[in-house]
């Protein structure tokens, strides 16, 4: 089977399962057992979505959410990646941070939102910091594992060919740890995306997809809530599929360091 | 090319079960451009000795001189080829792997790519310069590893069972290829193997080592002319002689084979 044919089949299968789920929902919404205000039909949700895209409001909300996510995520990579590397390379750093990571990682970032609100107020700073908190640990942890899993034979071969510490780091350790680093980024982004919506619900005022959902509850606007959920899901999916997917295809999949998922 | 002197080299492994002698009082003189094979059963210290010469391990006693210069850590006067295919960098193409050492040396890009192309042609991989290691067969990957070790022009080539993980047919091809490469480059080679016919095919001289502790038990010159015929009477006689040295000492069925067919 050609690669294009394979991809088409995968797409078809994905569409089919989504359609089936949508059909079940629509049947429930139209069954008459539930109040239409609580379970709006899909055409209603679609109309709300189209209208909010047309007037630009949902796009603006999404832009705010994305801004917070990207800021927090970028910070988490900037901090988590070097820390993970330092942990793997120096046992003192490892001994210091490992207990800290173990203690802090299980705390859901959402549980910190009220505290951060008191400390940093309502708005971007708090949401960005929540995202940062959620994303840094998976980034750090995966990088740490990645550097430790670098094949010693590569280090030996590179050393025999005259690589010094600096070259060893950039030319062997970083690319050698890349499957883990990319996985770390993926997980960090996913956590960011989950964290931002929660943080926005209580710690953001007026803007952001999380805030839209929370605000819509006041007026029983379930169609707005569902439309926002669709946007949240779609953006997350696109990042996962296109950004991280192509990052993987360009690097670790091309190098054969990771196998492609079965279509 | 340069000679290698191994003087009274000993190494002791510190294991949880106590101190285990790796190699003990090994003395060897290897001539410039000589091809020396070290054979022996697992645990005889042949790889340990190679790793000491490579500078990956430091001997507890004794010293190694390459071209009169004392070995202290690894250096670019030696090229190393390991058994494991995974030694190549998967994120670099065949060409990228071969240029690595030259890059470390600071050779300009055009120059190092020219040299790498040349080396890959020497191991008959000029059509695969742009391929990543995972698209190459095991034999091809090992050829890239040989080209990589030769590219920065070390005077000594150290090889640790480079063909042991290949199938028998590929291994025959690789041995022929290596003999050719050696004839052209005239490197001083130390080649570790547990395959007796491989040793007779490649070596000017075969060193037999025995374990507990790892010591040199015998040295056998192979004065046969090249290319060698593995089915000739003389060839088989040398094989028998080597096996006698090995079997006599070990007494058990150590994994020392007359040919590659039964090897993993």
ipTM, 2 dp: 0.85
Taking the Cβ of residue A169 and every Cβ of chain B, the question of whether any pair is shorter than 8 Å is answered with no
In chain A, which residues have their Cβ closer than 8 Å to the Cβ of B135?
256
CA atoms within 13 A on the CB side of B139: 16
Task: Report the distance separating Cα A61 and Cα A211, nearest Å.
Answer: 9
Residue spans of beta strands (DSSP E) within chain B: 4-15, 18-30, 35-39, 61-66, 69-70, 78-81, 156-160, 188-193, 205-210, 215-221
CB atoms within 10 A of CB B124: 15
8 Å CB contact between A61 and A209: yes
**Separation in Å, CA of B134 to nearest CA in chain A:** 6
**Separation in Å, CA of B90 to nearest CA in chain A:** 5
pLDDT in tens, A78-121: 999 999 999 998 999 999 999 998 898 889 999 999 999 999 98
Task: Report the distance separating Cα A96 and Cα B187, nearest Å.
Answer: 49
Mutate to test the interface with A, among B56, B86, B89 (most CBs of A within 10 A): B89
Contact A178 B75 (CB under 8 A): no
At residue A2, the pLDDT reads 62
Q: Is B166 helix (H, G, I), strand (E, B) or coil?
A: coil
8 Å CB contact between B116 and B98: yes
Question: Virtual CA dihedral for A28, A32, A36, A39, nearest 10 degrees?
Answer: -20
Residue B58 dihedral angles phi and psi, to the nearest 5° = -105, 130
Taking the Cβ of residue B74 and every Cβ of chain A, the question of whether any pair is shorter than 8 Å is answered with yes
> Chain B residue with minimal CA distance to A255?
B91
- A64-to-A57, A59, B132 alpha-carbon distances in Å: 11, 9, 42
pLDDT under 50: residue ranges of chain B: 249-254, 256-257, 259-264
Count CB pairs under 8 A between chains A and B. 67
Contact B84 A153 (CB under 8 A): yes
At residue B13, the pLDDT reads 84
Contact A255 B134 (CB under 8 A): yes
At residue B139, the pLDDT reads 92
Smallest Cβ distance to B104: which of A156, A162, A251? A162
Q: Is A163 helix (H, G, I), strand (E, B) or coil?
A: coil
The enclosing H or E element of B51 equals: helix B46-54
At residue B2, the pLDDT reads 87
At residue B42, the pLDDT reads 85
pLDDT in tens, B186-228: 999 999 999 999 999 999 999 999 888 888 999 999 999 998 9
Task: Report the distance separating Cα B53 and Cα B192, nearest Å.
Answer: 12
Smallest Cβ distance to B86: which of A151, A158, A175? A151
Sorted by sequence, the CB contacts under 8 Å of residue A169 that are 6+ apart come out as: none
CATH class of A38-250: mainly alpha
Task: Report the distance separating Cα B81 and Cα B191, nearest Å.
Answer: 9
Task: Report the distance separating Cα A124 and Cα A130, nearest Å.
Answer: 10
Q: Is the dihedral of CA A114, A117, A119, A124 positive or negative?
A: positive
Sorted by sequence, the CB contacts under 8 Å of residue B200 that are 6+ apart come out as: B206, B222, B224, B228, B230, B235, B238, B239, B242
pLDDT under 70: residue ranges of chain A: 1-3, 261-263
Taking the Cβ of residue A172 and every Cβ of chain B, the question of whether any pair is shorter than 8 Å is answered with yes
**Separation in Å, CA of A77 to nearest CA in chain B:** 22
Task: Report the distance separating Cα A180 and Cα A139, nearest Å.
Answer: 9
Note the pTM of the prediction, 2 decimals.
0.82
CB atoms within 10 A of CB B92: 19
8 Å CB contact between B200 and B206: yes
CA atoms within 13 A on the CB side of B114: 5
Smallest Cβ distance to A163: which of B79, B104, B133? B104
Q: At what angle do helices A91-104 and A124-148 cross, to 10 degrees?
A: 130
At residue A35, the pLDDT reads 87
Output the DSSP codes for A6-54: HHHHHHHHHHHHHHHHHHHHHHHHHSSSS-TTTS--HHHHHHHHHHHHH
In chain A, which residues have their Cβ closer than 8 Å to the Cβ of B55?
160
At residue A3, the pLDDT reads 64
Strand partners, B219: B207
User: Tokens for A183?
Assistant: 């996985």
Sorted by sequence, the CB contacts under 8 Å of residue B99 that are 6+ apart come out as: B112, B113, B115, B116, B151
Number of residues that make up chain A: 263
Output the DSSP codes for B100-160: HHHHHHT--HHHHHHHHHHHHHHTT-GGGTT--GGGS-HHHHHHHHHHHHHHT--SEEEEE
8 Å CB contact between A158 and A167: yes
CATH class of B1-77+157-164+188-253: alpha beta
8 Å CB contact between B100 and B92: yes
The domain spans of chain A are 1-34, 38-250
What is the Rg, in whole angstroms, of the alpha carbon atoms belonging to chain B? 18
- How far from the centroid of its chain's Cα atoms is residue B187's Cα? 12
Contact A157 B82 (CB under 8 A): yes
């Amino acid at each position: 089977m050609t690669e294009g044919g394979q991809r088409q089949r995968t797409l078809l299968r994905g569409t089919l399962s989504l359609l089936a789920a949508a059909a079940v929902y629509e049947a429930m919404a139209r069954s008459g057992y539930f109040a239409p205000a609580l379970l709006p039909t899909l055409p209603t949700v679609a109309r709300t979505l189209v209208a909010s895209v047309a007037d630009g409001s949902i796009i603006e909300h999404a832009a705010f959410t994305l801004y917070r996510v990207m800021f927090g995520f970028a910070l988490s990579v900037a901090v988590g990646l070097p820390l993970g590397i330092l942990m793997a390379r120096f046992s003192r750093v490892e001994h210091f941070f490992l207990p800290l990571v173990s203690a802090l990682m299980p705390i859901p970032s959402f549980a910190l939102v009220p505290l951060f609100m008191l400390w940093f107020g309502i708005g971007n700073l708090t949401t960005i910091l929540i995202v940062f908190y959620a994303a840094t640990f998976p980034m750090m942890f995966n990088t740490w594992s990645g550097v430790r899993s670098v094949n010693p034979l590569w280090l030996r071969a590179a050393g025999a060919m005259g690589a010094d510490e600096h070259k060893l780091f950039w030319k062997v350790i970083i690319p050698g740890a890349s499957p883990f680093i990319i996985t770390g980024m993926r997980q960090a982004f996913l956590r960011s995306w989950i964290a931002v919506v929660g943080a926005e619900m209580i710690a953001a005022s007026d803007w952001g997809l999380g805030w839209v959902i929370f605000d819509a509850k006041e007026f029983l606007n379930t169609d707005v809530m569902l439309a926002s959920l669709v946007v949240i899901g779609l953006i997350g999916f696109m990042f996962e599929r296109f950004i991280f997917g192509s990052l993987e295809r360009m690097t670790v999949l091309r190098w054969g360091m990771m196998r492609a998922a079965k279509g | 090319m340069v000679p290698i002197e191994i003087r009274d080299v000993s190494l002791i492994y510190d294991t949880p079960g106590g101190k285990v002698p790796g190699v003990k009082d090994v003395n060897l003189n290897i001539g410039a451009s000589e091809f020396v094979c070290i054979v022996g059963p697992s645990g005889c210290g042949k790889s340990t000795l190679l790793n000491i010469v490579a500078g990956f391990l430091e001997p507890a006693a004794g010293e190694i001189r390459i071209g009169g210069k004392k070995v202290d850590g690894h250096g670019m006067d030696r090229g190393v080829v390991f058994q494991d295919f995974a030694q190549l960098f998967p994120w670099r193409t065949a060409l990228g792997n071969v240029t690595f050492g030259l890059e470390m040396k600071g050779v300009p890009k055009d120059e190092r790519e020219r040299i790498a192309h040349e080396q890959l042609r020497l191991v008959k991989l000029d059509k695969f310069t742009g391929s990543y290691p995972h698209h190459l067969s095991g034999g091809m990957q090992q050829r890239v590893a040989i080209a990589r070790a030769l590219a920065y022009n070390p005077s000594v080539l150290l090889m640790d069972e480079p063909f042991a993980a290949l199938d028998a047919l590929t291994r025959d091809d690789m041995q022929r290829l290596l003999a050719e490469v050696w004839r052209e480059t005239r490197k001083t080679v130390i080649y570790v193997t547990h395959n007796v016919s491989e040793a007779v095919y490649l070596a000017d001289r075969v060193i037999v080592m025995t374990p507990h502790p790892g010591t040199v038990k015998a040295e056998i010159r192979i004065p046969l002319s090249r290319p060698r015929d593995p089915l000739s009477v003389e060839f088989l006689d040398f094989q028998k002689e080597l096996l006698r040295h090995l079997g006599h000492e070990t007494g058990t069925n150590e994994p020392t084979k007359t040919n590659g067919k039964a090897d993993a």
